[in-house]
Amino acid sequence: MSDLLGRIAARLRAASITDADGEARRIVSAAHAQGDKAGADERALAMAEQRANGKPLAYVLGRDTFMGVELIVAPGALAPRDETELLGNTALESLRRSGLAAPRVIDMCCGSGNLACAIAYHVPSARVWASDLTDGCVDVARRNVAQLGLQPRVHVAQGDLFAGFAGMGLEGAIDLIVCNPPYISAKRLAEDRAHLLAHEPREAFDGGPYGLSIHQRVIKECLPFLRPGGYLLFEIGLGQDRQVKILFERAKVYDDIRLVSNAAGEARVAQGRRKAV
């Protein structure tokens, strides 16, 4: 085992993987947890080669942990990022402050369903509706809901933003909406961020000409669903705080507009409350 770990760590180190030793341990552990023991070493070496060639670790392992919840991860849906936990924890704080007995939540652009599942897991009284556009995201999100036993409280729909919720009777009933939209500009995806598209879906990154196309749409299109006093929360890219704050202000239907920063002091979450009628 130690020889295998050493070989894999060396291969990852040669590929400039920062935490080569830690990732080697995770790869070996995952390989031995899958299928027969006889082929575990070969599986581990094959997984290490995928990682060394740039495949995200979560895809290599097939699983990841987000906000303390273990999730299935598969190509077709963005692998959950650590930075998105700030959005999830901000949403939990808002729900707890609200004091609602049974909050209703939408996870828009849900990807693998990581936010929907984490919110439902940590707030057992919450009901959550999640939606994404692509087959890959919807499939992975539904698998995560099923494997966590959250089907009674989490529903995954498919459609262009809120179109997937048509006919569900959710109009005016939602207390909080979280959205981790694509927020990289198309130009950057063609230049310095092009490497992101090698293994993950373009839809998860492409935010249009300025990286704000989905923010703009959601701020307007959520209004039939978000009740007065309800909150809309976004993840935002570095340097987008001013622009997203302006988008909220221009809509003229939000107050309590604020930004939430990470431990490094970078604004990565924007939120607004729909004004009371």
Q: Which CATH superfamily is domain 84-274 in?
A: Vaccinia Virus protein VP39 (3.40.50.150)
Report yes or no: 246 and 256 within 8 Å, Cβ to Cβ.
no
Q: What is the pLDDT of residue 190?
A: 77
Q: What is the pLDDT of residue 199?
A: 64
Q: What is the pLDDT of residue 192?
A: 62
Against a cut of 0.85, is the pTM above it? yes
Q: What is the pLDDT of residue 76?
A: 87
Averaged pLDDT in 10-residue chunks for the chain of 277 residues:
85 92 91 80 92 90 94 91 96 96 97 97 98 95 97 96 95 97 77 67 70 93 97 95 96 96 96 92
